[in-house]
Structure 1
Amino acid sequence: MVRAVNGDWLIRGRDGRLSAYAPSDEAAWCWAERHPGGAWLPSRKVGGDQRLHPGLAVGQGADGYAHLVAWRPTAGGEAGLVHSTHFRPHLAALDWMPIGHPNKKGERTGMPAVAVDAEGRAYVFVRNRGRGVHTINQKERGGWNGWHDLKGSKVDEELVAVTGGLGRVEVYATSPAGVLRWLQQEPGARPVAADPLPVRVEPGTLSALPTSKEYTTLFYADPEGMLYAWRPGSEPIALVAAAGPGPVAALRCVLDGHDCTLLAQHSSSGRVAFAAYPTEQETAGLWWTESGPQLPAGARVALAEDTEGRVVAATATPDGRLRLTRQKDEPGLALTAWQVV
């Protein structure tokens, strides 16, 4: 199952407003709050009138800016990648800018992923024609460096890119060999290959969350549907049976005064399932609690914190409907009724 949006598609901008992104009708769309914690503006197209292929990658830097990447059709049935920056949720994003193709030209090769380093430079990753991984990144003073081959073999379509706790970019991919990893060693450098994690992974279930300055925690499901967490220097820990197919959404937040990791997933029952545990203490145990209405197949789930530190969960369905719930001022993870935006 290829996700329609790769990355955290519900984000808080530097002005405190939440925004949500989704692809639809050969375009990318954005919803944004009128003001932090307030009503939402109607959805609108971002990046101009450029026609896009399905699928959208979203990344956010420490400056709060959103970086969007997608494929667009080009001549002769081929495709190329385009990039846009969205500085403020309620303002227009920049028009789509072509950034090329990992093999110079050809058809779409995989779902892109994007992460932004501590200096605000976007790094784009995508599977290439040979099923390895290519990357391209922004220069310090504008423009883009050339494409670079990170190698890799038999990589599945979906990649996961994230900015770690030290502001350095990391990218992960799954293959028959397990989880492949590339890590940025210093600011501005290209990520380099690290030792792979030799585990059995169900393709399309990988997600990543920085859980401390030192570590990013990876989440994945095995072919039998068991959800695991892993950090470098340790063995994978079995958490709980996955609530449904695809990746979990993950958020580090404070619940009842404790640093917690919150997971959410579109469950097999059609509702949204939540589970939480003390951050980096997976052995404490966790269990799923379902919430909200039943959603159709293909619904996506996202998590964020609003400007007041409250957890916000969102779902986007293939028909273009955005639903939201927000944490109440009560103990635990008490949520308001889900509302359609």
Structure 2
Amino acid sequence: MRRKSAAPVGAASRVGPGAAERGHGGAAGPPHGDWLTLGRDGRLSLYLSAEGGLVRWTETAVGGPEWSGPHFVPVAGLTDLTVVQGADSYVHFLGRRERERSDGAPGVDVVHAIQYQTGLAFTEWRSLGNPHRDRAEGRGLGVPVGAVASDGTVHVFVPNANGGLSLRREAPNGTWRAWEDLHGNGIDGPPAPVALSGGRLEVCAVSASGVLLWRQAEPGGDFAGPQGLALRPVPGTVTAVETGPDRPTYFWTDAESGGAAAWREGDWPAALGGSPAERPYASLRTAVDGYDCVVLAHRTRDGSALFGMGATENETGGFWWYAPAESCQGSPALARDGHGRVVMALIGADGAPKVARQDDGTGLALTRWRSLGA
């Protein structure tokens, strides 16, 4: 069952330069997933991994511009952190944790916590275990990612040591089901799940042979697949957005062209241009000047931030990219604030988070960047 007994949010913790470039053993910098979230009360929260846990900043009023924080949330042993938000506005934190067992051997498990309200404490961190019973195999567990179905059911997907995909999800009564083996092989990088408005989930992963796709036929049902597709994304760059009723579009860096691409089932990938990404694109579907648009943001290979926009499901009509003249560590994040404006967040070269908002003019021009301090 979900526990609402919460651990305190404590003192500030500094996130230093270069932290986002660390791998396993130092989960500092931008997490995976949606690390900029909008609460039910209309305030934004921003989360970063830090040594010994994570840190959080929170808007002091709807629309800002002031923020409180950083506030430190302790959780030892995290090597990776993913932030996921459901339609109910609850924010879920999924971590890959390494710690020494009682016999002195290292062990790996997946942990989960929830923030129910903006700016308040988290629940206790609960271990979801490891799909591998063998400890040596268990150390090969990948980065956990997640999605929350429209009914609030949390799904945790993680590449396993055998190159396939493992799933653990909540049961209708709030307990957790056993780990499920979704099979697959050769998975490279974190998968990209998407929760659709009709209640189903889909998940896409990149493998040595192309793309692997799993789907639920009905809400709460089993996952069929994997279906193999001869497409060429760069591993670790895939993200997904629901762009039509119960219909996702997947965005990734194309391995051949080096630019962004958009793909929907039954069609060929559409080229969007831009520069190669290093991690999954930040994505947001929103209205810009009255038009239904998709906004993407990413870090280029030279360390610069880049964002772009185009009409939803009309990629051939053009996709426009903008360079905000800011370097960043890790992936940027996108969200709408309590006034409906697009907000972009990134981690600057000094390790401090920065935010810029959609200007009051036409198009998607951004205001000046505001540093939140570290």
The answer to whether TM tops 0.5 is yes
* Contact 2:158/2:167, CA 8 A, preserved across alignment: yes
> Cα gap change, 1:192/1:32 in structure 2, threshold over 3 Å: closer, same or farther?
farther
**What SS does the corresponding residue of 1:36 show, helix, strand or coil?**
coil
1:147 aligns with 2:179: yes
1:45 matched residue in structure 2? 72
Which residue number corresponds to residue 73 of structure 1? 98
1:214-225 alignment runs, 5 A limit: 214-224=246-256, 225=258
Question: C-alpha separation between the residues in 1 aligned to 2:47 and 2:342?
Answer: 18
CA distance in 1, matches of 2:246, 2:335: 22
Letter in 2 for 1:200: R
Shift of 1:329: 1.2
Aligned mates of 1:276, 1:23 — CA distance in 2 = 28
Are residues 1:19 and 2:50 paired? no
Tell me which moved more, 263-272 or 141-150: 263-272
State the Cα distance separating 1:244 from its structure 2 match.
4.1
| Contact 2:80–2:97, Cα closer than 8 Å, also in 1 | no
Q: CA RMSD of the aligned region, Å? A: 2.0
Q: CA deviation at 1:317?
A: 4.8
Q: Secondary structure at the match of 1:41?
A: strand
SS class of match (2:123): coil
Residue 285 (str. 1) matches residue 318 (str. 2) = yes
Q: Which residue of the other structure, out of 53, 56, 76, is the alignment partner of 1:30? A: 56
Match of 2:127 among 80, 98, 115: 98
SS in 1 for 2:268: coil
Q: Does the residue aligned with 1:72 lie in a helix, a strand or coil? A: strand
Task: Using structure 1 for the length normalisation, give the TM-score.
Answer: 0.93
Q: Point out which structure has higher relative CO (alpha carbons under 8 A, 6+ apart).
A: 2
- Deviation per CA, 1:114-154: give whole Å up to 9, x if none: 10011111100101111101100112222211000000011
Matched-pair contact (CA < 8 Å) for 1:156–1:203: yes
Deviations 1:225-247 (A, max 9, x none): 12211011111111114254333
Instruction: Classify 1:144/1:30 alpha carbon distance in 2 versus 1 (closer, same or farther; 3 Å).
Output: same
Relative to structure 1, the CA distance from residue 161 to residue 28 in structure 2 (aligned partners, 3 Å threshold; closer, same or farther) is: farther
Equivalent-residue separation in structure 2 for 1:270 and 1:212 (angstroms): 33
Q: CA deviation at 1:320?
A: 4.3
In 2, the alpha carbon distance for the partners of 1:60 and 1:90 equals 15
Separation of aligned partners in 1, 2:302 and 2:209: 32
Q: Report the alpha carbon displacement of residue 310 of structure 1 after superposing the two structures with TM.
A: 0.5
Count of aligned pairs:
337
Match of 2:342 in 1: 311
Residue 294 of structure 2: aligned partner: 261
* 1:314-337 C-alpha deviation (Å, 9 max, x unpaired): 002586421000112111112110
C-alpha distance in structure 2 between counterparts of 1:226 and 1:263, whole Å: 12
TM norm structure 2: 0.85
In 1, Cα distance between the equivalents of 2:319 and 2:275? 11
Structure-1 residue corresponding to 2:267 = 234
Describe the superposition over 1:212-235 as per-residue Cα deviations: whole angstroms up to 9, x where unpaired: 213111011122412211011111
Specify which of 178, 183, 202 is matched with residue 234 of structure 2. 202
For 1:221 and 1:8, locate their aligned partners in 2 and report how far apart those are by CA, in whole Å.
19
Q: Detail structure 1 runs of 4+ shifted over 6 Å in the superposition.
A: none
SS at match of 2:316: helix
How much identity, in percent, do the aligned residues show?
Answer: 37
Amino acid at match of 1:65: Y
SS at structure 2 position matched to 1:283? helix
- In structure 2, what residue type is equivalent to 1:55? D
SS in 2 for 1:81: strand
| Structure 2 segments unaligned to the other structure (5+ residues) | 1-20, 24-28
Q: Which region of structure 1 is more displaced relative to structure 2, 300-309 or 269-278? A: 269-278
Q: Which residue of 2 aligns with 1:58?
A: 83
1:86-115 Cα deviation digits (max 9, x unpaired): 111210011110110011343151111110
